[in-house]
Chain A
Amino acid sequence: EAGVVQSPRYKIIEKKQPVAFWCNPISGHNTLYWYRQNLGQGPELLIRYENEEAVDDSQLPKDRFSAERLKGVDSTLKIQPAELGDSAVYLCASSSEWVEKLFFGSGTQLSVL
């Protein structure tokens, strides 16, 4: 069984540039999460999807972040424009058993210069 696939693995951009991250969850997993992990910290939830619907986006900075999950499968997280403080690892996770067992991708490490 293929795991959660994220791309790119690394991204370096200058501040004020846009950036997008892509996630392909495990087949059949209806729930998809985006987390942000700052250096030396634990992951923090940005947004949670149930199929196509964003059911918890309370932690997503909506002035510059957006996300979509078309057809309830793949998802894209976008930042526009990026700021220095956005440098972090962006993790995607999926689950078929609510939050009891999440499967995480390897993450996208973003560096904003």
Chain B
Amino acid sequence: GDSVTQMEGPVTLSEEAFLTINCTYTATGYPSLFWYVQYPGEGLQLLLKATKADDKGSNKGFEATYRKETTSFHLEKGSVQVSDSAVYFCALSRIGNEKLTFGTGTRLTIIP
């Protein structure tokens, strides 16, 4: 079945550091890939997405590239801020299976 594997957390970084959160997936066919973010006390919200190989999703300074050859969708940001502290979830969906399959989430804490 479909599955998403994320790097273990928690991750703690200093402000302005470079961020990478690894995500790999297993799925048949060509899934769409997503990153969702959950800020403290709030619901999950879509951060970015990519729907086909080599697509790059971007939002709020975050980027992720759909790599079919490595079945990966790593999240990156060049300079993190304290306000980026949250839990980040990688997820996938497939055509004909209208649901999201999530990874376990990675808690990110940015210290000033």
Do A100 and B49 touch across chains, with their CB atoms under 8 A apart?
A: yes
Give the dominant DSSP class at B's interface.
strand
Tally A-B pairs: CB < 8 A: 56
A58 to chain B, nearest CB (A): 10
Q: B73: CB under 8 A from chain A?
A: no
- Against B, the Cβ 8 Å flags (1 = close, 0 = not) of A1-33 are 001100000000000000000000000000101
- Which single residue of chain A is at the shortest CB-CB distance from B107? A40
- Against A, the Cβ 8 Å flags (1 = close, 0 = not) of B25-47 are 00000001000100001111110
- Given contacts A42-B105, A99-B99, A106-B41, 5 further A-B pairs with CB under 8 A are A45-B99, A91-B43, A99-B32, A102-B100, A105-B43
- Against A, the Cβ 8 Å flags (1 = close, 0 = not) of B84-105 are 0000010101000011101111
